[in-house]
Amino acid sequence: MAATTGTPTDRPAAGRRERTGWYFYDWANSAFSTTVLTVFLGPFLTSVTKIAAGCELGADDCTGRVHPLGISVAAGSFFPYVVSLSVFLTVFVLPVMGAVADRSPRKKVLLAVTAFTASAATMCFAFVTGDNYLLGGVLFLIANISGGASIVVYNSFLPQLAGPDDRDKVSSRGWALGYLGGGLLLAFNLVAVTILSIDGNDQRTLDIARWCIVSAGVWWAVFTLIPLAWLREHPGLSSTGQRGNVLIDGFRQLGGTIRNIRAYPLTLFFLLSYLIYNDGIQTVIALASQYGTEELDLEQSTLIITILLVQFLAFGGALLLGAMAAKVGARKTVLFSLALWLGVVVAAYWLPAGKPLPFMLLGVAIGLVLGGSQALSRSLYSQFIPAGREGEYYGFYEISDKGTSWLGPLLFGVVFQLSNSYRSGIISLVVFFLVGGVLLALVPMRRGIIAAGNTPPKLL
């Protein structure tokens, strides 16, 4: 008898409208990972931190330090450290949120609360002016953690919207639409930067960057209305007949999973490999702008054009690798993409300063593998999740998803602080793709999926 996938037998299959509504949350939240994390936030928050450290705006040789909570931090390391702190906190928040989603009969309410909290925090960057770097750090923590919680709830719908053989396609379409939406907003922001910037006026450039960040929060809030309108409630099996407080029951469920975690060792094996290699991917995404401005001396307009290339190529790349997975299997496709990621990091180390074209060509390579590697990882992981615990397991997964990574930024920040070289920081990321790829290759996929009580897809 085929194993259940967690969709109640009396629930009608998801239709095209509902799946489209699900896709649109990728469209909504990708504005944050693209406009905020990938392009503007790193240079913006680093500039604000440098002002707080006593450096002149636009100074390239700043060696000043700030002292949040009495801790001495190099101005250039503050942003990577805040990223690492946000992910450290998500370790405690996201699995609990996932367990609550599994227990709640109204997951759309959870999606609304977490998404609107994140988008509101992003819009509040309008108040990050002068040397107020601490406010910027706190708002980023709120936005990143709340946004991650919303994606946990969002991902938990996937096993209930598509069967085992359709999830690669559905997940890839969501990622593809997300990159298209994120790229569209970034294109609008590129127009704003081009029209409104004044050469030599660094303060005006900083102000424009702040409002571009705010625009991502507005975009996120507005387009979240579509999935809230078109998705149906898909309560997890753990919510069936549940009584009492959902939050308390969620903690109990999470505690039970942690106690019995050895029951699904292959699920954990896959998750470990993903957390390692995706930490490298997210670090490259989050710190690319900082690397481009601080090490390669590139103009912000060059960075935005490059990220636009990445976004629109990632739209096609997600669909292309999704089609490749249909031919050779998702795991082989992901391993292929990790080999390309390894080449990207090595090439980034050798990029010449002040030369936009090589940086853009590297962006083309990233775009072709970015969407597919993440979309297929998401659908692969869904096969390893025991029925009824989708939210909880995606809570662990989301610890290293869209913009949330901690080991990579931490390693990058430490290497920079020791060497004062962003190139040394970027090459240190090689280890994530090597170790993560080797572990993924060693996962016995079919055995792990069956052990979780699910039916393996025809191709892996």
How much is the pLDDT for 100? 83
Higher-pLDDT residue of 195, 216: 216
Among all chains, which residue has been given the structure tokens 């990143």?
144
Best CA proximity match to 397, nearest among 156, 83, 224? 156
Mean pLDDT value across residues 438-457: 92
How much is the pLDDT for 400? 61
Mean pLDDT value across residues 255-277: 82
Among the ranges given (247-256, 363-372, 414-423, 432-441), the one the predictor scored with the smallest mean pLDDT: 247-256
**Cβ neighbours around 331 below 10 Å, total:** 19
How much is the pLDDT for 11? 47
How much is the pLDDT for 142? 97
Structural tokens at position 375: 């979309």
Higher-pLDDT residue of 250, 387: 387
Q: Is the pLDDT of residue 4 over 60?
A: no
How much is the pLDDT for 451? 92
Among the ranges given (17-26, 74-83, 228-237, 419-428), the one the predictor scored with the smallest mean pLDDT: 228-237
Among the ranges given (64-68, 145-149, 427-431), the one the predictor scored with the smallest mean pLDDT: 64-68
Band the pLDDT of 406: cuts 50, 70, 90: low
Q: Is the pLDDT of residue 264 over 80?
A: yes
Q: Is the pLDDT of residue 162 over 90?
A: no
Kindly tell me the sign of the dihedral angle through the C-alpha atoms of 263, 269, 270, 275: positive
Among the ranges given (193-197, 240-244, 308-312), the one the predictor scored with the smallest mean pLDDT: 240-244
Q: Is the distance from CB of 398 to CB of 404 less than 8 angstroms?
A: yes
Band the pLDDT of 403: cuts 50, 70, 90: very low
Mean pLDDT value across residues 416-425: 86
Task: Return d(Cα 19, Cα 60) in angstroms, integer.
Answer: 47
Among all chains, which residue has been given the structure tokens 């037998």?
9
How much is the pLDDT for 1? 31
Mean pLDDT value across residues 95-106: 81
How much is the pLDDT for 289? 77
How much is the pLDDT for 8? 41
Among the ranges given (52-61, 116-125, 177-186), the one the predictor scored with the smallest mean pLDDT: 52-61
Among all chains, which residue has been given the structure tokens 């913006």?
44
Task: Return d(Cα 146, Cα 149) in angstroms, integer.
Answer: 5
Q: Is the pLDDT of residue 103 over 90?
A: no
Region of 329 (left: φ > 0; alpha: ψ -120 to 50; beta: rest) is left
Considering 162-171, 174-183, 204-213, the range whose residues carry the highest mean pLDDT is: 204-213
Task: Return d(Cα 295, Cα 337) in angstroms, integer.
Answer: 26
Residue type, 292: G
Q: Is the distance from CB of 402 to CB of 151 less than 8 angstroms?
A: yes
Structural tokens at position 145: 């953690």
Apex 211 CA angle, 210 and 214, nearest 5: 95
pLDDT tens-digit profile of 205-258? Answer: 899 999 999 999 999 999 999 999 999 987 655 555 555 555 566 566 666 666
How much is the pLDDT for 397? 81
94: number of CA atoms within 13 Å, CB side?
31
B/e letters for 114-147, b = 16+ CB within 10 Å, e = fewer, are: bbbbbbbbbbbbeebeeeebbebbebbbbbbbbb
pLDDT, mean over the chain: 85
Question: Treating both helix axes as pointing N-terminal to C-terminal, what angle do 107-123 and 202-230 enclose, rounded to 10 degrees?
Answer: 170
Percent of the chain residues past pLDDT 70, beyond the cut:
88
Task: Return d(Cα 49, Cα 47) in angstroms, integer.
Answer: 5
